[in-house]
Amino acid sequence: DTAVSQTPKYLVTQMGNDKSIKCEQNLGHDTMYWYKQDSKKFLKIMFSYNNKELIINETVPNRFSPKSPDKAHLNLHINSLELGDSAVYFCASSQDGEGSPLHFGNGTRLTVT
């Protein structure tokens, strides 16, 4: 009954590869987000999607692309991975318009070697 689920939990890959992280929410929320938490533990918003429309893009490199096949899913595709992409990536969702809080997944730890 996990509300926001991410897969995989761990991802180890080499520089230059392309990888995807999947996120699904079963809360019926309108908006989904991707956050990046670096080694210093700062949580930074990367994207949010509302009804399949990208509404926030925090100037992340265009190697990162969110893709939302439907309202319940927001996947994160990363091309040409770099060492600096190593971090924990969190997916979240919220029902905006009602001030509802963010509900986070448990993160995907990406390690680029």
Partner 1 sequence: DAKTTQPPSMDCAEGRAANLPCNHSTISGNEYVYWYRQIHSQGPQYIIHGLKNNETNEMASLIITEDRKSSTLILPHATLRDTAVYYCIVRLYSSASKIIFGSGTRLSIRP
Binding site for partner 1 (CB under 8 A): 4, 30-31, 33, 35, 41-45, 48, 50, 55-56, 58, 88, 90, 92, 94, 96-99, 101-107, 109
List, in sequence order, the alpha helices (H) in the chain: none
Measured from the CB of residue 26, what is the shortest distance to partner 1 in angstroms? 15
Nearer to partner 1, 69 or 97 (CB): 97
Residue with structure tokens 């908006």? 31
- CA distances from residue 97 to 13, 31, 35, 112 in whole angstroms, order as listed: 39, 10, 21, 38
Q: CB of 52: closest distance to partner 1 in angstroms? A: 13
- Cβ proximity to partner 1: between 45 and 60 the closer is 45
C-beta closer to partner 1: residue 14 or 53? 53
Rounded Cα distance, 61 and 56, in Å: 13
The CA distances from residue 91 to 14, 44, 113, in Å, are 23, 11, 23
CB of 106 to partner 1, least distance (A): 5
Nearer to partner 1, 66 or 90 (CB): 90
The distance of closest approach from Cβ of residue 21 to partner 1 in the complex, given in angstroms and rounded to an integer, is 13
Name the residue among 81, 82, 64, 76 with its Cα closest to residue 33. 76
